[in-house]
Amino acid sequence: MKQLFSFEKKDLVFLFLLLLFIGDTVYSYYQHSLAPIDGDIPSLVAPSDAYQQVLHDPFGFKILQTGENTAASNRFFVQWPTYAYFRYVPLWLQSFLSPIDSVYASIALAKTFIQVGLILLLVSYICITFGWKRNEGILAAVVICPLFQAVGFFEYLCVIDNCISYAIAYAFSTLILMVFLFPYYRAAITGHSGLPSWLKPLWLLLPIGLTFSGPVTGPVLLILCPSTLLYFFYQHWKIKSDLSLSQRFSQSINSINRQLFISFVFTTLLCIYSFYIGTHNSENSWEVISLTERYKKLLEGLIKITSFSEGFMPIVLVIFYNLFILQRYKNTDIDKLVHILYFALLFAAAYILLLPMGGYRPYRPYIIRRDTLQPVLWLLFFAWGLSTVSVLKYTHSTKRVVYASIITLICLGYTLVDKLPDYTNVCERQAMQEIAAANGDCIELKESCMVMQWGPASQCEDTRYAATLLHLWNITPREIKYHQKVNP
């Protein structure tokens, strides 16, 4: 371990770590390939009558005119990718896979792409912080991989949800969000964004998609953009104390980077508009409880998440231990790391405290869950990777070996906990074959498992969108509805 970053061993170390990363990715793909299709896919992809309007009115202009409520009113840029992906990708995969296999392969590919993309983005953020190279980057990737849980610590630590519609709505939108923020983070760390001139206009357009991408990206940007502008404004305000108030104000505004100012002001205004359109989301009225009750439930959720059984706290404790070790090494890099993690902690606290403002859904009883925690999990994984690799770089000899052994055991523990799922798509596949072989236009299924439904379909009309989708995917020769016998 003493020569971990030496020239003589760097290629061998890189290859070994790369193989670990590839192995983890292959295992994750296999986990994702076993998941059944969630009940939102038929209505999103067919699409259902409820989701038709947002496809034709992505920015809610009709809502401004009529004031009516519609499903997913401000979520066009997560609904449309789901709609487009599952209408075309399974058909493309049928060039070398059976129709049924193509559907599950497309789900597994999407989840794996999102997972790998998020890990590589995390590595990019970590490496740009200190100008680290490929060995540090692949090491960061390897220590982060085990934290991506598909089964083990699922409820609060799962980034890639088992439900593909949720994975796209939350993890994929987080991926695009981190792509958008990367040049600004790089500029804050290195002094330049690294964006070529021809790409800069795109970074002014990305907020349009992000602010209409569901329940996470908008709130994150609404916290981050104004607070960043206020921070830079205040920094300039402090050093211009000898000017008049009007001059001080105008020069403090003008001192903010023009690209950053235009982009973040534009994004903030879009967030406010999207938030208003989101108040007309008909799905938000499923169950209404008071704001006080929501905060009580948030407190219950925070108590639950801090228990070791959820897998969250061991990571937090290791991060604090890493900081304790690193503060012994007094240098500018460590000071930078501490400041970055301090701001990350402030953002995470603000985000969690504002979560109850987003409403309540009965399937998310404690307000916080793997989906609403996406930004916090991203920061947690970032802090874990950044601080762990930093300790491995700055400690020496025996201490490094001991520390590396501890981290290896922790990563191994998270990997072993993340077993293969008990509930798989085997039964759903059999049911699809049964539907495909049916003679009538509606059949009663022998299987008791759900088939692209959240619950048992008691009548044929309940599966009309699923029937449309099965026919679109060439699984059935025509639209064949199905139902299941529901025991009283």
Tens of pLDDT, residue by residue over 320-340, are: 999 888 888 777 777 888 888
153-162: average pLDDT: 89
pLDDT tens profile 257-302 = 888 899 999 999 999 999 888 888 877 655 678 888 889 999 998 8
pLDDT tens-digit readout, 371-409: 889 999 999 999 999 999 999 888 887 888 899 999 999
Residue 189: pLDDT above 80? yes
pLDDT of residue 400: 87
Residue 481, SS3 per DSSP: strand
Question: Burial of 430 by CB count in 10 Å (0-12 exposed, 13-18 middle, 19+ buried)?
Answer: middle
Question: For residue 142, what pLDDT is reported?
Answer: 96
Q: Give the 3-state secondary structure of residue 6.
A: coil
**SS3 call for 445:** strand
Q: What is the pLDDT of residue 91?
A: 96
Enumerate the β-bridge partners of residue 445.
Answer: 484
CA 98 – CA 91 distance, rounded (Å): 10
Task: Report the C-alpha gap between 398 and 409 in whole angstroms.
Answer: 17
Write out the E strands in 1-153.
Answer: none
Measure the CA dihedral 243/247/248/252, to 10°.
-140
Contacts 24+ apart (CB under 8 A), 115-120: 115/25, 115/28, 115/148, 115/159, 115/160, 115/171, 116/25, 117/175, 118/148, 118/159, 118/171, 118/174, 118/175, 118/178, 118/378, 119/144, 119/145, 119/148
- Mean confidence (pLDDT) of the chain: 88
403-421 per-position pLDDT tens digit: 999 999 999 999 999 999 8
Predicted confidence at residue 429, as pLDDT, reads: 94
Please, which residues bridge with residue 444 across strands?
Answer: 483
Mean pLDDT on 171-193? 90
Give the model confidence (pLDDT) of 421-435 as tens digits.
888 999 999 999 999
Q: Mean pLDDT throughout 225-238? A: 88
Model pLDDT, residue 395: 83
Name the 3-class secondary structure at 442.
strand
Of 67 and 80, the one with more pLDDT: 80
Q: Is 55 exposed, middle or buried (0-12, 13-18, 19+ CB in 10 A)?
A: middle
Predicted pLDDT of residue 8? 58
| Token representation of residue 89 | 């990708």
